[in-house]
Homo-oligomer: A and B are copies of this chain.
Amino acid sequence: MAVRFGSQRQERVSVTGTEQRVLDSGPWLAGRTPSVTQEEVRRHNLGVLLRLLHVHGATARAELTAVTGLNRSTVKALTTELAEVGLVRESAPVGRGGAGRPSILVEPRSEQVWALAVDIGVEHISAARIGLGGVVLERTARRQPRGDTEVPAVLDRLRRLAEPLLAGRADPVGIGVAVPGMVGGRDDLVRFAPNMGWIDVPLSRLLSSALGGLPVSVGNEGDLGVMAEHLRGVAADAADVIYLTGEVGLGSGIIIGGRPLTGAGGYAGEVGHMSVNPAGGRLCTCGRRGCWETEVGADAVLLAAGIPAGSPPADVLRALAGADRAHRAAARRVGRWLGVGVANLVNLFNPEVVVFGGLTRLLFPVLEPYVRAEVATALTAPRDQVRLELPGLGADSSLVGAAELAFAPLLGDPLGART
Contacts and interface: CB of A to CB of B under 8 A. Distances in A.
A348 to B, nearest CB: 6
A27 B8 CA distance: 7
A38 to B, nearest CB: 14
Interface in A334-359: 340, 343-344, 347-352
Contacts of A347: 270-271, 273-274
Interface in A248-276: 256-257, 259, 261-271, 273-276
A68 to B, nearest CB: 5
A62 to B, nearest CB: 15
Contact of A264 (B21, B52, B263, B350): B350
By DSSP majority rule, is chain A's interface helix, strand, loop, or mixed?
loop
A103 interface: no
A417 to B, nearest CB: 15
B14 A275 contact: no
Given A11-B28, A23-B23, A184-B381, A278 B275 contact: no
Contacts of A22: 12, 14, 23-25
A15 B23 CA distance: 8
A46 B173 CA distance: 48
Contacts of A25: 11, 13, 22, 44
A69 B274 contact: no
A308 interface: no
A240 interface: yes
Nearest to A64: B29
A280 interface: yes
A134 to B, nearest CB: 14
A277 interface: yes
Contact of A279 (B256, B273, B277): B277
B256 A31 contact: no
Nearest to A26: B11
Given A9-B28, A278-B277, A279-B279, A267 B23 contact: no
B31 A69 contact: yes
A14 B21 contact: yes
A6 interface: yes
A409 interface: no
A20 B27 CA distance: 17
B263 A240 contact: yes
Nearest to A34: B12
B30 A10 contact: yes
A27 B48 contact: yes
Contacts of A350: 262-270
Contacts of A411: 27
A351 B23 CA distance: 30
A128 interface: no
A379 interface: yes
A238 B261 CA distance: 15
Given A263-B350, A275-B340, 18 more contacts: A4-B27, A9-B28, A9-B30, A11-B25, A11-B27, A11-B29, A12-B30, A20-B23, A21-B21, A31-B69, A184-B381, A192-B381, A240-B263, A270-B382, A274-B274, A274-B347, A277-B278, A286-B377
B23 A379 contact: no
